[in-house]
């Protein structure tokens, strides 16, 4: 009977996964508005009522999808901080991880912003809100590591900034701002920016130089850092981003 119980239980768990997968697809293909309980129920072969057994409302459902999606970002950040090299190289690795995530999943990135809107979060049950905060914290703490390391190693001396956390916040804001602007459809080319996608990296190094984070851009071959990241740590992602001459089609 314990088996039977958990059989049904497992069925329910599995269904939750199915709902999430189908919702993810709907969200990706048709946006928040395209996620309809009706359509979702049809795809999952259950009724609308059943979905409400798993998620308190549509917002909760979409937040769950985003949370699920964001684990890929966590994984990328985790990989980034394993980079064997200077602390500043690790920060560059994180920036590239962030950039890769957004480049590979622009809609996921945008969806995440939707759920950050207050209109959205207001409708979220407390539990989901907590999960979201924990995810933010996880990411924040991962970025903290190389910064703390740099301070400990004397590669970074805090002058203006009062704490490591402030530096992390700035780095985050900086990358986020760039990636956000890139995913809006503001035509930067028309505004005179030749290669908008490349600006983030120049900009990051400018900021890191401003911090005095050693070694400075001029004193180190960060181009080869980039290449190593491209060919080693993030090889699969770079390949996915720029598929080699595909034989299909």
Partner DNA sequence: ATTTTTTTTGACACCTTGTCAAAATTTATC
Partner DNA sequence: GATAAATTTTGACAAGGTGTCAAAAAAAAT
Binding site for DNA (CB under 7 A): 1, 4-5, 7-9, 11-12, 15, 35-38, 46-50, 52-53, 56-59, 123
Q: Do 171 and 91 meet the contact criterion of CB atoms below 8 Å apart?
A: yes
**CA distances in angstroms from 176 to 22, 37, 172, listed in the order given:** 28, 32, 6
| Interaction between residue 134 and a copy of itself (CB under 8 A) | no
User: 146: which DSSP letter?
Assistant: H
For tokens 């600006």, what's the residue?
199
Tokens of 156: 């970074």
For tokens 């309980």, what's the residue?
37
Q: Is the dihedral of CA 26, 27, 31, 32 positive or negative?
A: positive
| Interaction between residue 174 and a copy of itself (CB under 8 A) | yes
| Interaction between residue 72 and a copy of itself (CB under 8 A) | no
Nearest-approach distance from CB 51 to a copy of itself, in angstroms: 21
Nearest-approach distance from CB 48 to DNA, in angstroms: 5
User: Which of 89, 112, 90 has its CA nearest to residue 102?
Assistant: 112
Q: Quick one: 46 or 216, whose CB is closer to DNA?
A: 46
Nearest-approach distance from CB 74 to DNA, in angstroms: 28
Q: Quick one: 5 or 191, whose CB is closer to DNA?
A: 5
Which residues make Cβ contacts (< 8 Å) with residue 82, sequence separation at least 6?
233
Residue 129 dihedral angles phi and psi, to the nearest 5°: -55, -45
Q: Quick one: 12 or 157, whose CB is closer to DNA?
A: 12
Which residues make Cβ contacts (< 8 Å) with residue 85, sequence separation at least 6?
225
| Interaction between residue 176 and a copy of itself (CB under 8 A) | yes
Tokens of 35: 């996620």
Q: Quick one: 21 or 203, whose CB is closer to a copy of itself?
A: 203
| Interaction between residue 117 and a copy of itself (CB under 8 A) | yes
Q: Quick one: 32 or 201, whose CB is closer to DNA?
A: 32
Q: Quick one: 55 or 222, whose CB is closer to DNA?
A: 55
| Interaction between residue 137 and a copy of itself (CB under 8 A) | yes
| Interaction between residue 121 and a copy of itself (CB under 8 A) | yes
| Stretch touching a copy of itself by CB under 8 A, among 12-20, 76-84, 183-191, 236-244 | 183-191
User: Which of 14, 12, 35 has its CA nearest to residue 24?
Assistant: 35
User: Which of 240, 223, 225 has its CA nearest to residue 83?
Assistant: 225
Residues that bind a copy of itself (CB under 8 A): 31-33, 110, 113-114, 116-119, 121, 133, 136-137, 140, 160-166, 168-170, 172-178, 180-181, 184-188, 191-194, 196, 199-200, 202-203, 205-211, 217
């Amino acid at each position: 009977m314990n088996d039977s119980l958990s059989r049904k239980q497992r069925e329910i768990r599995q269904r939750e996964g199915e709902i999430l997968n189908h919702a993810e697809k709907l969200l990706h293909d048709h946006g928040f508005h395209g996620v309809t309980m009706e359509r979702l129920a049809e795809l999952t072969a259950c009724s609308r009522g059943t979905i409400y057994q798993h998620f308190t409302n549509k917002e909760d459902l979409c937040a769950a999808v985003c949370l699920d999606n964001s684990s890929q970002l966590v994984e990328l950040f985790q990989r980034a901080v394993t980079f064997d090299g200077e602390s500043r190289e690790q920060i560059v690795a994180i920036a590239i991880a962030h950039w890769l995530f957004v480049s590979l999943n622009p809609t996921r990135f945008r969806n995440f912003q939707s759920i950050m809107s207050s209109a959205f979060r207001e409708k979220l049950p407390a539990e989901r809100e907590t999960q979201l905060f924990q995810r933010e914290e996880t990411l924040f703490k991962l970025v903290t590591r190389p910064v703390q390391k740099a301070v400990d190693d004397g590669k970074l001396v805090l002058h203006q900034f009062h704490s490591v956390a402030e530096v992390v916040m700035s780095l985050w804001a900086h990358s986020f701002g760039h990636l956000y602007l890139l995913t809006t459809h503001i035509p930067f080319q028309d505004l005179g920016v030749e290669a908008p996608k490349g600006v983030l990296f120049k900009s990051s190094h400018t900021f890191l130089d401003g911090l005095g984070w050693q070694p400075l851009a001029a004193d180190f071959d960060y181009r080869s850092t980039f290449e190593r990241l491209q060919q080693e740590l993030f090889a699969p992602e770079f390949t996915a981003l720029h598929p080699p001459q595909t034989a299909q089609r």
